Structure 1
Amino acid sequence: MNKAGAIDLVERARSLGPLIAREADEIERTRRLTPVVVNALIDNGLYRALLPQSLGGAEAPIEIFMQMLEEIAKADASTAWCLGQCTVCAMIAASLDHDTAHEIFNTAPGILAWGAIAHEARAVEGGYRVTARWDFASGSRQASWLGAHVRIVGCDGTPRKNADGSPEVRTILFPAAHATLHDVWQAIGLAGTGTDSYEVNDLFIAERFTAFRDVPAALRETGPLYRIGTGASFSLGFAAVSLGVARATLDAAIALARAKHPSLSASAMRDNGAVRGLIGRTEGDWRAARAYLYATAQAMWRELSATGEFSAAHRSAVRLAATWTIHQSAKVVDTAYHMAGATAVFRKHPFERRFRDMHAIAQQIQARDSHYEDVGKAILAGS
């Protein structure tokens, strides 16, 4: 994608901010993205940011994808989360034959969502059969196709293995109409994501609707984007969402401090030295987190574009930067929330929902403390 087109993708996201902000209360109330928001995301091509150019997608550099999500998250975290989930899911197109990918992504609305890895699929003639239920399908309520990551067993029930002895895991894809969705997402934050469960019963999946996810040898597209894989792309994308939520929350606290005169206080918030210092330090924390995340992504992209390899060092660097950025973003949100005092607890003010959304983000797999252990292990091993 050329530079002008990439910038346009971010500008489109920014221009949708006011519309999404107006719909945020309804998204929260219904626990779904509203049709007007979904249609706006589709019409502006945002769901196709990481889809291959050969299919009419943007195939945008990862930094552009991150900036796009950051802008949407400033308006509503649930919208950004769903967009990030479904946009990364579309990267599976790079591992499908062209006709199959075209059928999935170029038939409106062309949105794919999936949940966590679980269960098995049995190999049969021409494909696989599966009966299973999966959880955590963010964006499933907007999706026309669903996917699942399953371990493969042979016709005799014996688990199939890869050459290295690990279980064979494939991603299976099927129309959303073939699944039953269960409304289970009653969560403290990211309420509007509709991160529900879904199940299928004795569903046949033709071979061509399956793929090896994040396996470089299975790629049919040569662009550097697809070498990163969906795991690292989720990490970078959701870390960018956390930055957007933190930016909006801190901006709301700054606006409040300019105008508020706390009860029983002799001075306005803007004249309080403690408040000034807190805003300055917190602004520095947010800028440092953003600079670190984007510097890591940019360095990885440069090396990947030059070598064609997404190395173990790249994976470790992305994991560390994304995890730390989410944790730092949570600290920024906490500081802004407490700075706002009693104002922050009322739903009419822009604090409590972002506080809840941010802490829901911080509980996801991309923010696990165990990532620090993995990185520390690699450092101590000298790698």
Structure 2
Amino acid sequence: MLENKKKHSGDYFVNLIKSLTGEILKASDQISYDRKIPDQLLKNMTRSGFFRLLVPRKFGGYEIDFIKYLEIINIVSMIDASVAWCLNQNNVLGTLAAFMPEKLALEIWNDPETVLSNGPSINSTAVILEDGYRISGRWDFSSGFQHANWLVALTTVINPNNTSDEREEIRNMLLRKKDVEIVDTWDVNGLRGTGSFSFIADEVFVDHSKTFIEGAPPLHSGPIYVIPKALMFSSGFATVALGVARSSLNYAIKLANEKTPSKQVMLRDQQSVQREIGKLEATYRSAKAYLDNAVSELWESSLLTGNIAEPFKADLRLASTDAIRQSISIVDGSYSLVGSNAIFNFNPIQRKFEDIHAISQQVQGRMEHYDSVGRFFLGMEHKGLF
């Protein structure tokens, strides 16, 4: 029992992921080229439990401390942003196990190599049938698609008998990859390794037992499942961004201690370089401290009360978005310090530059979140993903 509890702990997985960083680093070029996590590395990670960190224990998950979870994401993000991105995307989707029917959760997570993927819905609809639904639509940006074995398709249910102004029902539909058409749209320069393909369903039948309502309260209790998915995504992706920023700045500092430009003194001895390193370090530490504090307060609220007040949600939303925006400036500043060599693919900072600018375009990093939080602080009705 004690050993089982130890294996469920966040510290266990923090130490375990540290032992895999060398393998992840060695595979980074292949990850980017193939646009997926290599099969052997993926098997090592799934079999070790890294894609069920937030799944309820009763379904074979580990339900670890959320702060420790983000520490794992941070460690991986400093090595490879694409792997860290997939880990966060697929683990947050794993929390859906707490919201779906128990029989469905057991079916999905009984496979030790289960990974879920999803994507934003494009004009998806589901027609009600006697024993299920017939769904059609397209879902884009399905991160980790190539290594997933289940797809979560968020779909609007069309009820032909509904003549009132009643709100349309939104359901999560669980699909197998064989049931959809794969659309390879992922010709990108940043986060290539996420393989965020699109998929299309054309009048696919989904049994009612493999669906559940979006936004319903969890069927399984626990502090993790009180946190809105939007905030788990945002804090996780902000952690990825900060990891990219930290590793970029580390590289610039290392180079400054080694490089002497032609007809100049060593970079470390140039006042402009010293000042820039100081400013970038301050920006990073401020953004990281704010995010850590916002996560800690929200997690403590969930642990102690089983609920999260709006101010904690607003604070984490702001800290997450700001961490992403500040990370862009840190990577850009580090990139500039490296000089002309930064543009070559052999230079690790080139991929980090591409990754951070891909991250900046994702919904969690949008500038509109500042507006939403600003409205909240002004006492106005806010709009956005809290």
Task: Tell me the TM-score normalised to structure 1 length.
Answer: 0.94
**Deviation at 1:183?**
0.9
1:210 matched residue in structure 2: 211
Is residue 114 of structure 1 aligned with residue 133 of structure 2?
Answer: no
Q: Write the distance in 2 (CA, Å) between the matches of 1:160 and 1:23.
A: 55
Local SS of the residue matching 2:146: coil
Q: Write the distance in 2 (CA, Å) between the matches of 1:193 and 1:207.
A: 30
Residue type of the alignment partner of 1:222: S
1:302 matched residue in structure 2: 300
Q: Given that residues 92 and 213 in structure 1 are in contact (C-alpha distance below 8 angstroms), is that contact kept between their aligned partners in structure 2? A: no
Q: Given that residues 110 and 143 in structure 1 are in contact (C-alpha distance below 8 angstroms), is that contact kept between their aligned partners in structure 2? A: yes
1:190 matched residue in structure 2: 191
State how many pairs are aligned.
376
Q: Deviations over 1:195-241 (max 9, x none)?
A: 0111122211112211223432xx11110101113211101110111
Counterpart pick for 2:143 among 133, 138, 162 = 138
**Deviation at 1:315?**
2.4
Residue correspondence of structure 1 range 245-256 to structure 2 within 5 A: 245-256=244-255
**CA RMSD of the aligned region, Å?**
1.8
Local SS of the residue matching 1:75: coil
Q: Given that residues 47 and 113 in structure 2 are in contact (C-alpha distance below 8 angstroms), is that contact kept between their aligned partners in structure 1? A: no
Q: Write the distance in 2 (CA, Å) between the matches of 1:79 and 1:159.
A: 47
1:54 matched residue in structure 2: 58
Q: Given that residues 121 and 138 in structure 2 are in contact (C-alpha distance below 8 angstroms), is that contact kept between their aligned partners in structure 1? A: no
1:93 matched residue in structure 2: 97
Q: Given that residues 248 and 335 in structure 2 are in contact (C-alpha distance below 8 angstroms), is that contact kept between their aligned partners in structure 1? A: yes
Residue type of the alignment partner of 2:323: T
Change (3 A) 1:126 1:297: same
1:151 matched residue in structure 2: 156
**Deviation at 1:169?**
1.0
Q: Given that residues 99 and 220 in structure 2 are in contact (C-alpha distance below 8 angstroms), is that contact kept between their aligned partners in structure 1? A: yes
Q: Write the distance in 1 (CA, Å) between the matches of 2:291 and 2:210.
A: 34
Residue type of the alignment partner of 1:111: V
2:132 matched residue in structure 1: 127
**Deviation at 1:313?**
2.5
Q: Given that residues 180 and 198 in structure 1 are in contact (C-alpha distance below 8 angstroms), is that contact kept between their aligned partners in structure 2? A: yes
1:66 matched residue in structure 2: 70
Change (3 A) 1:160 1:111: farther
Change (3 A) 1:81 1:40: same
1:76 matched residue in structure 2: 80
Q: Given that residues 17 and 74 in structure 1 are in contact (C-alpha distance below 8 angstroms), is that contact kept between their aligned partners in structure 2? A: no
Change (3 A) 1:382 1:202: closer
Is residue 371 of structure 1 aligned with residue 375 of structure 2?
Answer: no
Local SS of the residue matching 1:171: strand
Change (3 A) 1:102 1:372: same
2:384 matched residue in structure 1: none
Task: Tell me the TM-score normalised to structure 2 length.
Answer: 0.93
Change (3 A) 1:4 1:96: closer
Change (3 A) 1:123 1:313: farther
Residue type of the alignment partner of 1:44: S
Change (3 A) 1:49 1:106: same
Q: Given that residues 63 and 224 in structure 2 are in contact (C-alpha distance below 8 angstroms), is that contact kept between their aligned partners in structure 1? A: yes
**Deviation at 1:277?**
2.1
Residue correspondence of structure 1 range 263-274 to structure 2 within 5 A: 263-265=262-264, 267-274=265-272
Change (3 A) 1:159 1:323: farther
Q: Write the distance in 1 (CA, Å) between the matches of 2:225 and 2:16.
A: 23
Q: Write the distance in 1 (CA, Å) between the matches of 2:16 and 2:112.
A: 20
Local SS of the residue matching 2:147: coil
2:42 matched residue in structure 1: 38
**Deviation at 1:83?**
1.3
Is residue 359 of structure 1 aligned with residue 357 of structure 2?
Answer: yes
Q: Write the distance in 1 (CA, Å) between the matches of 2:52 and 2:126.
A: 29
Q: Given that residues 152 and 168 in structure 1 are in contact (C-alpha distance below 8 angstroms), is that contact kept between their aligned partners in structure 2? A: yes
Q: Given that residues 243 and 286 in structure 1 are in contact (C-alpha distance below 8 angstroms), is that contact kept between their aligned partners in structure 2? A: yes
Q: Given that residues 62 and 233 in structure 1 are in contact (C-alpha distance below 8 angstroms), is that contact kept between their aligned partners in structure 2? A: no
Residue type of the alignment partner of 2:286: A
2:329 matched residue in structure 1: 331
